[in-house]
């Protein structure tokens, strides 16, 4: 069942159009990630959903009710949408417990206590219940912010780059925890992020945003394997672009005849996007390519190779990565996406 649906939504601040014709549907109990670089309009979209901005055109429907249009705006306090801001925004004058029960307005004492205990347990914050926010670590603060947003069992939870202020290691742990908590609560959530790894690893579905509009929605696998355009292909992961021409059912390139994932027409010219992990470097003293650089990461290595036509970056199994100066033959493994020049702009 569709919980949230956004129809032809646009918003202008002054003359500048921040969002343009956004369409999006979020299913019940789904975790949707909105992925885009900074300035793409992600946070503005969240503020519109939460009811802090009025759209210039279009509509937002929540649970079968229209909540936003250019003439009608349901106040944020009446929407039942929980938010977890980037900076967690805990209330500094209240304890962890006080923060979590802040929104439980109509609850009696016993209900309040039970609900707060439940969330403290779920977020593993029981022993910190009486601490003030300034005595919490960044990760703990975000867990409390999540518990606070979930307390009233909101229809929808919005998370705005909730992990961006944390260091890499903590981020990974917390991501898994947040996902577990959201699933345990049966919550529907929208997570905004600029981190593709975060979006792909965490979400049930990903919506990719660029320049104020949503350009692709799909499961993480779909988004990664079949990016609709070159922009997404290069945005998601390390891709090398190689020029090619369609001859019969193959794309002919300097690195061989490649199979296309998407639909191709003979005679088309364009580029293929090859991810760095899809190259295979075969050591060959007579090979036409030379390794010119290597960055070692332990489990794998990124190898820079000069082919007769261009420089490529390939990911290679760490301990067996070729050394600088070695000659190799470059192969492309698996099928690739082809983007005809006519579709590029």
Q: Which residues bind other proteins (CB under 8 A)?
A: 50-52, 75-83, 85-87, 89-93, 102-103, 105, 145, 148-149, 151-152, 154
Q: Check the CA dihedral 298-233-194-174 and report its sign.
A: negative
Cβ nearer to other proteins, comparing 104 with 261: 104
| Token couple for 243 | 């020029």
| Token couple for 14 | 């002054």
Please tell me the distance from the alpha carbon of residue 254 to that of residue 259, in angstroms, as a whole number. 14
Concatenate the DSSP letters of all residues of 20-34 into one string: EEEEEEEETT-EEEE
170 CB-side CA count, 13 A: 13
Please identify which residue in the block is written with the tokens 């793409």: 40
Q: Kindly report the CA angle at 183 between 106 and 167, in degrees rounded to 5?
A: 100
Cβ atoms of residues 91 and 102 within 8 Å: yes
Element (H, E) at 172: helix 168-185
Cβ nearer to other proteins, comparing 36 with 82: 82
Cβ nearer to other proteins, comparing 82 with 227: 82
Residue 83 CB, shortest distance to other proteins, in Å, is 5
At residue 3, φ and ψ (nearest 5 deg) are -90, -45
Residue 203 CB, shortest distance to other proteins, in Å, is 21
Residue 159 CB, shortest distance to other proteins, in Å, is 12
Cβ nearer to other proteins, comparing 44 with 316: 44
Residue 162 CB, shortest distance to other proteins, in Å, is 12
Nearest to 301 by CA among 313, 318, 314: 318
Cβ nearer to other proteins, comparing 87 with 222: 87
Cβ nearer to other proteins, comparing 79 with 275: 79
Cβ nearer to other proteins, comparing 98 with 231: 98
Residue 115 CB, shortest distance to other proteins, in Å, is 13
| Close Cβ partners of 274 (under 8 Å, ≥ 6 residues apart) | 239, 240, 241, 242, 255, 312, 332, 336
* Secondary structure letter of residue 280 according to DSSP: E
| Token couple for 92 | 């500094």
Residue 105 CB, shortest distance to other proteins, in Å, is 6
| Token couple for 174 | 């917390």
Residue 148 CB, shortest distance to other proteins, in Å, is 7
Residue 80 CB, shortest distance to other proteins, in Å, is 8
Cβ nearer to other proteins, comparing 34 with 217: 34
Cβ nearer to other proteins, comparing 156 with 240: 156
Cβ atoms of residues 67 and 7 within 8 Å: no
Residue 110 CB, shortest distance to other proteins, in Å, is 20
| Close Cβ partners of 140 (under 8 Å, ≥ 6 residues apart) | 125, 128
Between helix 138-150 and helix 109-122 the angle, nearest 10°, is 140
189 CB-side CA count, 13 A: 29
């Amino acid at each position: 069942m569709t919980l949230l649906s956004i129809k032809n939504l646009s918003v202008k601040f002054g003359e500048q159009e921040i969002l343009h014709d956004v369409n999006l549907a979020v299913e019940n109990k789904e975790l949707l990630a909105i992925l885009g670089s900074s300035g793409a309009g992600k946070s503005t979209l969240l503020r519109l959903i939460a009811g802090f901005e009025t759209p210039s055109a279009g509509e937002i429907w929540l649970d079968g009710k229209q909540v936003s249009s250019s003439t009608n705006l349901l106040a944020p306090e009446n929407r039942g949408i929980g938010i977890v801001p980037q900076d967690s925004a805990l209330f500094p004058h209240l304890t962890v417990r006080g923060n979590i029960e802040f929104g439980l307005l109509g609850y009696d004492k016993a209900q309040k206590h039970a609900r707060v205990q439940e969330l403290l347990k779920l977020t593993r914050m029981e022993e910190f219940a009486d601490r003030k926010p300034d005595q919490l670590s960044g990760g703990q603060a975000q867990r409390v912010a999540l518990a606070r947003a979930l307390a009233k069992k909101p229809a929808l939870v919005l998370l705005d780059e909730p992990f961006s202020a944390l260091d890499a290691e903590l981020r990974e742990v917390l991501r898994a925890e947040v996902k577990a908590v959201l699933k345990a609560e049966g919550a529907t959530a929208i997570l905004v992020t600029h981190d593709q790894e975060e979006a792909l690893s965490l979400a049930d579905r990903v919506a990719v945003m660029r320049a104020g509009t949503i350009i692709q929605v799909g499961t993480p696998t779909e988004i990664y394997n079949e990016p609709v355009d070159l922009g997404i292909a290069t945005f998601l992961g390390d891709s090398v672009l190689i020029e090619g021409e369609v001859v019969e059912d193959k794309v002919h390139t300097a690195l061989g005849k490649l199979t296309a994932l998407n639909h191709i027409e003979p005679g088309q010219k364009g580029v293929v996007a090859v991810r760095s992990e899809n190259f295979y470097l075969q050591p060959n003293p007579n090979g036409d390519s030379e390794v010119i650089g290597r960055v070692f990461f332990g489990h794998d290595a990124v190898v820079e190779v000069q082919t007769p036509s261009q420089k490529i970056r390939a990911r290679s199994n760490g301990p067996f990565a070729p050394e600088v100066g070695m000659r190799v033959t470059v192969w492309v493994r698996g099928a690739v996406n082809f983007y005809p020049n006519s579709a590029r702009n």
